[in-house]
Structures are given as structure tokens and as C-alpha cells.
Amino acid sequence: MNSKIYLRMSDFQKYKQRRMQQDPDFWAEYDERFETFRIGILLKQARLEAGLTQEEIAKRLKTTKSVVSRMENHAMDIRLSTLEKFAEAVGRKIHVALR
């Protein structure tokens, strides 16, 4: 039996609203942290779609697998030049937008 739990975005928004009332400090930088999390997800997705392993990306970037893992899982403070190299390694280009 395969039991999966699915969480709808509306459920998450309700949870977030309740938690914001209980612990506003935790949520103070949520949007910024979410964006860095999202960058890591996009990097991993691009790598997987290119059919590459973290080791293969690491070789192309002249770094280690652990650095690539940190980029995908903790995308804080990644230089734009590093993002460009990662994108090139997976056959993509990056697009930066200011909102």
C-alpha cells in the first residue's frame, strides 16, 4: 500500500497564517528564505532534466559533489557567476528579473 500525503497550497497558507500569529519572528524573513529554497529546487530540477548527477555537475564546475548538494539544498549566497556556470553545465541560461 502506497500512502502519500498531499498538501494543497491553500492548506499551507492556512497553516502559515496560524503560525504567523503564534510566532511572527519566525515568519519575518519567510519570503526571502522561500526564494532561496526555490532557487535550489530550480537548480536540482535543471540538473535532473539534463540527466546529470551531482558528481557530473561538480566535475564541470571544478568543485565537489558536496558543494553542488549545498547549492541545491541551501541556495543561500550563491554568486551570479556560479549560477551562470551551473546553468551552462546543464545546457541552460539564467534570466534575472528585478521586481
Largest CA distance in the chain: 46
Model confidence pTM above 0.75: no
- The Cα-based distances of 41 to 2, 84, 96 in angstroms read 25, 16, 16
* pLDDT given at position 46: 95
* Cα 14 to Cα 29: distance, rounded to the nearest angstrom: 18
* pLDDT given at position 78: 87
Structural domains in the chain, sorted by start? 32-99 (1.10.260.40)
Residue 91's nearest CA partner among 56, 44, 49 is 49
Strands (DSSP E) along the chain, which ranges?
none
pLDDT tens, position by position, for the chain (99 residues)? Answer: 445 555 566 777 787 788 788 887 777 777 777 777 888 889 999 999 999 999 999 999 999 999 999 999 887 788 899 999 999 999 999 988 887
* Cα 63 to Cα 58: distance, rounded to the nearest angstrom: 5
